[in-house]
């Protein structure tokens, strides 16, 4: 791959924006929040984040927002991921590895079906009392 400049990056951004405008891509109100504290990183949260970004890009859901946050108190169930979107309850999922991230995009976000065996009660009691 040839070394890109900031100008190349801007061109790529403009091209992507044009194609997004034409297709009226869905996902403007969808937010994915990934726990990226020591516990999350140790459990592979960086890989989880990349898996979300790759799958959402493949699904042309370029407007979805992917944010990072600290520890949500479920260190034993990392990586933890919260999904906020219209038409679905706010859900915190645990043990979200790369395959589960793909499943969340396809089933929860696109299919509007919960993935029951990864749902966590939220948030952990000692964090809640702050």
Partner 1 sequence: MHYRITDFLADIVENALDAGSGFTEIKIIQDDGNLKVSVKDTGKGMTEAEILRARDPFGTDGKKHPGRRVGLGIPFLVQALNETGGDFSISSRPGAGTTVSFRFDLRHLDTPPLGSLPETFRQILSLPGSHDMAIHRALGTESYDLSRRELLETLEDLESVGSLAILEQYLESLEDSVQSPEKGARHGKNDP
* Residue 90: count of CB within 10 angstroms of its CB: 11
Task: Examine residue 23 and tell whether it contacts partner 1 (CB under 8 A).
Answer: no
Task: Examine residue 128 and tell whether it contacts partner 1 (CB under 8 A).
Answer: no
Is the Cβ of residue 108 or residue 117 nearer to partner 1 in the bound state?
Answer: 108
Tokens of 25: 């891509």
Instruction: Find tokens 């108190």 and name the residue.
Output: 73
C-alpha span between 1 and 39 (Å, rounded): 34
- Considering only residues 88-127, where is the footprint of partner 1 by CB under 8 A? 126-127
C-alpha span between 63 and 65 (Å, rounded): 6
- Considering only residues 36-95, where is the footprint of partner 1 by CB under 8 A? 36-39, 41-42, 44, 46, 49-50, 53, 56-57, 61-71, 73
C-alpha span between 49 and 67 (Å, rounded): 9
Site of interaction with partner 1 (CB under 8 A): 1-4, 6, 8-10, 12-13, 16-17, 20, 27, 36-39, 41-42, 44, 46, 49-50, 53, 56-57, 61-71, 73, 126-127, 129-130
């Amino acid at each position: 791959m040839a070394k890109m400049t900031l100008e190349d990056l801007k061109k790529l951004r403009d091209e992507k924006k044009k194609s997004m405008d034409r297709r009226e891509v869905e996902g403007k109100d969808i937010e994915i929040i990934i726990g990226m504290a020591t516990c999350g990183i140790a459990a592979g949260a960086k890989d989880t984040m990349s898996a979300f970004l790759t799958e959402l890009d493949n699904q042309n859901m370029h407007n979805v927002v992917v944010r990072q946050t600290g520890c949500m108190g479920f260190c034993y169930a990392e990586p933890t991921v919260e999904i906020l979107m219209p038409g679905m309850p706010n859900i915190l999922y645990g043990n979200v590895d790369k395959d589960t991230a793909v499943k969340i995009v396809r089933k929860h976000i696109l299919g509007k079906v919960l993935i029951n065996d990864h749902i966590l009660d939220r948030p952990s009691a000692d964090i809640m009392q702050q």
